């Protein structure tokens, strides 16, 4: 298993993908707080490696949470994160399939965890973005969980297409 690497640049989604890949490794290989910073630092390349050399000098003994704050400040600006929150707030299914809408919903929900911090809120937010033909078939059920809503929405989409 090869850990993801990160070279830097101005593509914040790549920075986020790198963080998710590293955190996935933490689930498989439990690490101490010190190792949680050392492992990802080892995978930084080019410009990010130079950033890390300076950062560890200025901030010795970093925890993973503090590392993430500094990393995001550099490679995934607050204005970009705010833009992703707005994208999530205004997300609609439109002409997308339910699967495409759900993929985009899951990707953007990471940036607005306060909007989906309970299963009920997540279910309602997902329903709220559905196109009318599908929404009309599921919202009167007042399904309590996201999984229940998603299951019924997929069925409704299939029934409409048939």
DSSP state of 117: S
Encode pLDDT of 112-145 as tens digits.
999 999 999 999 999 999 999 999 999 899 899 9
Any idea what the Cα angle at residue 153 is, between residues 160 and 127, rounded to 5°?
A: 120
**In this predicted structure, what is the pLDDT of residue 10?**
78
Encode pLDDT of 24-79 as tens digits.
999 888 889 889 999 888 999 999 999 999 999 999 989 999 999 999 999 988 88
Structure tokens at 24: 């996935």
> Does position 1 have pLDDT exceeding 70, yes or no?
no
Cut 0.85: pTM above it: no
**In this predicted structure, what is the pLDDT of residue 134?**
96
> Does position 100 have pLDDT exceeding 70, yes or no?
yes
Structure tokens at 95: 């002409």
Please tell me whether residue 130 adopts helix, strand or coil conformation: coil
Domain boundaries, the chain: 12-76, 80-161
């Amino acid at each position: 298993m090869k850990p993801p690497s990160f070279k830097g640049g101005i593509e914040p989604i790549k920075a986020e993908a790198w963080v998710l890949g590293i955190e996935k490794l933490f689930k498989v290989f439990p690490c101490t707080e010190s190792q949680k910073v050392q492992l990802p630092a080892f995978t930084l390349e080019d410009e990010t490696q130079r950033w890390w050399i300076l950062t560890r000098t200025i901030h010795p003994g970093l925890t993973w949470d503090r590392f993430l704050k500094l990393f995001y400040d550099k490679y995934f600006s607050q204005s970009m994160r705010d833009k992703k929150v707005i994208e999530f707030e205004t997300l609609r299914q439109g002409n997308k399939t339910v699967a495409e809408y759900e993929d985009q919903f899951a990707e953007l929900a990471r940036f607005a965890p306060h909007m989906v911090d309970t299963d009920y809120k997540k279910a309602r937010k997902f329903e709220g973005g559905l196109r009318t033909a599908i929404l009309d078939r599921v919202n009167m059920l007042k399904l309590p969980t996201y999984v229940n809503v998603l299951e019924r929405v997929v069925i409704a989409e299939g029934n409409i297409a048939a």
